[in-house]
């Protein structure tokens, strides 16, 4: 298969440590992009977790056994050419959309069941109109998008039909992974198919922002060489088990610099279950946007609007969405009441008895629950301290990825 690709850089989040956090899918001229049969053990019988197998040949063994389940994911999306319009006097310039053009992207994936379910990254397929999957034997399948979750950067594809059987990787247990464990990454960096690299687990519990700006926690950090195009490919232990899905790197150049991240397979398993069942992940919502209180912000509100905030820490509710649990409970964004001759506002200070001072803390506490469960809020309505229990509801199905990151 001959493939030519250009303009291979994808940003997923703001710059970190003087460099950048890069997703590992490839694209051509567009931002954005990448229950199984048992594998034979790649480690000698009785080997300790992460121990180096005899004769140092575990990378070859892992590759030979796992690589048939690693696939090349090719996508086609629709972009638009732009052209610049300038007024006759040269005072104004506008970039205007032109005709639609196809945009191609590539990434990696791993077959996780013999009936053709393929695990990959959301950012590999998020905007795809067409998805094709190439197996290691050269066979090609048009893939169906079963579901995707931008919040975790996980997507699930389906290839083949009734009776088709595919080589499937064995999924491991990422809770048993430790820093220093040997790992193997297989994928398609820069479009180079079936590339294998070796490294170790550098650290655990890392966090990055997904392409929609939502924090993904608990990631595995590795120094195994992964590059754009590796997105969605597996990170494997010495026994040939998938322990993570490669998703991003920290880099000043967009290429490998020794710091890569993989989504733990235990998290991916949970997401896959929901995607197979519903095609999406159902998360709870309160239905608010908040702004964190700082001394500077409190002084600004008092000086600019005469709004006196009675606490030094907390979250000011700045938007409440219609028909949300918060709206039904009577919350609102700040407004000046002529009848009361004062500002009406709400500042959340505690959730389930735990102080909250950041939007991420509130989001984590809300997302730790399921729709229908109760959230116990302590808040200030003006100067009055109030406690209230609110039943959370499912995040609206029609909400966009961007909304998922912004609204709590």
Q: How far is CA 341 from CA 334, 336, 338, 381, in A?
A: 13, 7, 5, 15
Flag whether pLDDT at 214 surpasses 80.
no
Q: What is the pLDDT of residue 90?
A: 57
Residue 306, pLDDT above cutoff 80: yes
pLDDT at 30: 29
Catalytic residues: 123, 153, 231
Number of helical H runs and strand E runs in the chain: 7, 26
Q: Model confidence at 87, in pLDDT bands (50, 70, 90)?
A: low
User: Does the pLDDT value for residue 55 go beyond 90?
Assistant: no
Does the pLDDT at position 22 exceed 60?
Answer: no
Same fold, 20-41+57-85+96-278 and 284-406: no
Q: How far apart are CA 392 and CA 286, in angstroms?
A: 6
What homologous superfamily does CATH list for 284-406? Answer: PDZ domain (2.30.42.10)
Q: Which of 83-87, 96-100, 160-164, 182-186 has the lowest mean pLDDT?
A: 83-87
The answer to which of 208-212, 235-239, 263-267, 340-344 has the lowest mean pLDDT is 208-212
State the first-to-last Cα distance of the chain, in angstroms, to the nearest integer: 45
Distances (CA, A) of 69 to 137, 165, 338: 10, 11, 66
Structural domain spans, the chain: 20-41+57-85+96-278, 284-406
Q: Are 261 and 219 in contact (CB under 8 A)?
A: yes
Q: Per-residue pLDDT for 183 more than 90?
A: yes
pLDDT computed for residue 51 by the predictor: 54
What pLDDT is attached to residue 16? 28
The answer regarding whether domain 20-41+57-85+96-278 maps to CATH 2.40.10.120 reads yes
Express each pLDDT in 338-350 by its tens digit: 888 889 999 999 9
Whole-number mean pLDDT of the chain? Answer: 83
């Amino acid at each position: 298969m001959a493939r030519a690709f250009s303009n291979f850089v994808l940003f997923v989040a703001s710059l970190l440590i003087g460099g950048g956090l890069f997703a590992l899918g490839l694209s051509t001229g567009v931002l954005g992009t990448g229950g199984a049969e048992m594998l034979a053990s790649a480690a000698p019988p009785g080997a300790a977790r992460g121990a180096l197998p005899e004769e140092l040949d575990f990378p070859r063994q892992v590759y030979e056994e796992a690589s048939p389940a690693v696939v090349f994911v090719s996508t086609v999306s629709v972009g638009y050419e732009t052209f610049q319009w300038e007024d006759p006097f040269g005072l104004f310039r506008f970039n205007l959309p032109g005709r639609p053009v196809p945009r191609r992207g590539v990434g990696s994936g791993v077959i996780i069941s013999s009936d053709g379910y393929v695990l990959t990254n959301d950012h590999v397929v998020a905007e795809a109109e067409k998805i094709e999957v190439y197996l290691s034997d050269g066979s090609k399948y048009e893939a169906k998008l079963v579901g995707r979750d931008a919040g975790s950067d996980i997507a699930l594809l389906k290839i083949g039909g009734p009776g088709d059987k595919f080589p499937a990787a064995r999924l491991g247990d990422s809770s048993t992974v430790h820093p220093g464990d040997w790992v193997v990454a297989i994928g398609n960096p820069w479009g180079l198919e079936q590339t294998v690299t070796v490294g170790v687990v550098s650290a655990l519990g890392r966090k990055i922002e997904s392409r929609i700006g939502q924090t993904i926690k608990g990631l595995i950090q590795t120094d195994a060489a992964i590059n754009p195009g590796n997105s969605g490919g597996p990170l494997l232990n010495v026994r040939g088990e998938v322990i993570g899905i490669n998703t991003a790197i920290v880099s000043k150049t967009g290429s490998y610099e020794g710091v890569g991240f993989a989504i733990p397979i235990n998290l991916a398993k949970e997401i896959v279950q929901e995607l197979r069942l519903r095609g999406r992940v159902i998360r709870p919502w309160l239905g608010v946007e908040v702004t964190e209180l700082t001394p500077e912000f409190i002084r600004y509100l008092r000086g600019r609007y005469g709004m006196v905030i009675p606490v030094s820490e907390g979250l000011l509710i700045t938007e409440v969405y219609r028909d949300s649990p918060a709206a039904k409970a009577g919350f609102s964004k700040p407004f000046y009441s002529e009848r009361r001759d004062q500002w009406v506002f709400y500042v959340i200070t505690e959730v389930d008895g735990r102080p909250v001072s950041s939007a991420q803390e509130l989001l984590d506490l809300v997302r730790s629950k399921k729709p229908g469960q109760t959230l116990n809020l302590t808040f200030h309505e003006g100067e009055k301290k109030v406690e209230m229990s609110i039943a959370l509801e499912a995040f609206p199905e029609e909400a966009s990825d961007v909304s998922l990151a912004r609204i709590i």
